[in-house]
Amino acid sequence: MYIWADGIYSGLRSEESKLCALVVIGVNERGEKHFLAIEDGERESTLSWKGVLGKLKERGMNAPELAVGDGAMGFWAALEETYPETRQQRCWVHKTANVLNKLPKLSQPKAKRFLHDIWQAETRADAEKAFDTIIKTYEAKYPKVAECLLKDHEELMSFYDFPAKHWQSIRTTNPIDSTFGTIRHRTKRSKGCLSRDGMLHMLFKLGMCAEGKWRKLRGFDCLAKVITGVKFKDGEEVPTVDQSAA
């Protein structure tokens, strides 16, 4: 199973702080996506995420094969405590935005092409070559660019060890971002007239409406193989050695 996690910030009445809703979406073995959690949190702290993941574990959620999220450290620290065996994938959309923000505007289009060369590569070897290219290009003039990429190097490449049909979905937190784009718009329009409980209720209701329109995960027929531990390299299944014939 895969999960996507993110923190969604929404405005409340002026006398209250912003609401941070901690959201987790999961996909089951049939490829069906479902909201697993929409909970109020203290920003995106480790303690808040531990509470969310701990409740999911108590409800019987097994360790996901892969968790997808942005660079918020609170979630990853909580995941490592609750589900240490789960692989991690950093969101390429968030990472791209973070990298570009560390460059002058005139340099951003070129850097964006370099970044696309990494995550759009057909093999990890080609992706690593593109990764090295952008590091060498910017580490002298813009060391923060190199630092931003290198700190999540391995976690940015995890998707290569999963079925190629799933790459489009597991490279980003798009299942959450696309859903809550509309929700952010709705909550902005209601700013000033909702309490914290009212805002959470709206997020939940709008989330449930969106869930009913979700399509199954592309290539969901490969999920059984992922769950049973079949290995993949560069999106392709790794043939197993027939010990009886050896």
**174-224 per-position pLDDT tens digit:** 888 777 766 655 555 555 556 677 777 777 887 788 788 888 899 999 999
Question: For residue 73, is it within any domain?
Answer: yes
Question: For residue 188, is it within any domain?
Answer: yes
Q: How many domains does the chain have?
A: 1
Quote the CA–CA distance of 36 and 51 in Å, as a whole number: 13
Higher-pLDDT residue of 164 and 13 is 164
Question: For residue 97, is it within any domain?
Answer: no
Rg (CA), the chain: 19
For 178-244, what is the HEC assignment?
Answer: HHHHHHHHHHHHCCCCCCHHHHHHHHHHHHHHHHCCCCCCCCHHHHHHHHCCCCEECCEECCCCCCC
Question: For residue 205, is it within any domain?
Answer: yes
Quote the CA–CA distance of 144 and 218 in Å, as a whole number: 36
pLDDT of residue 191: 54
Question: For residue 135, is it within any domain?
Answer: no
pLDDT of residue 71: 83
pLDDT of residue 92: 97
Question: For residue 231, is it within any domain?
Answer: no
Structure tokens at 20: 């941070």
Q: What is the CATH number of the domain that holds 6?
A: 3.30.420.10
pLDDT tens by residue, 41-91? 767 789 999 999 999 999 999 999 999 999 888 999 999 999 999 999 999
Report, as an integer, the average pLDDT of 93-115: 96
Q: In what order do the strands lie in the sheet with 33-41?
A: 33-41, 19-27, 2-10, 66-69, 87-90
Question: For residue 114, is it within any domain?
Answer: no
Higher-pLDDT residue of 158 and 239 is 158
pTM of this prediction? 0.87
Higher-pLDDT residue of 13 and 183 is 183
Statement: residue 16 has pLDDT above 60: no
pLDDT of residue 29: 86
Domain region containing 78 = 1-90+172-215
Quote the CA–CA distance of 150 and 152 in Å, as a whole number: 5
pLDDT of residue 13: 46
Question: For residue 95, is it within any domain?
Answer: no
Cα–Cα separations (whole angstroms), residue 188 to 98, 194, 204, 219: 24, 11, 16, 36
pLDDT of residue 64: 95
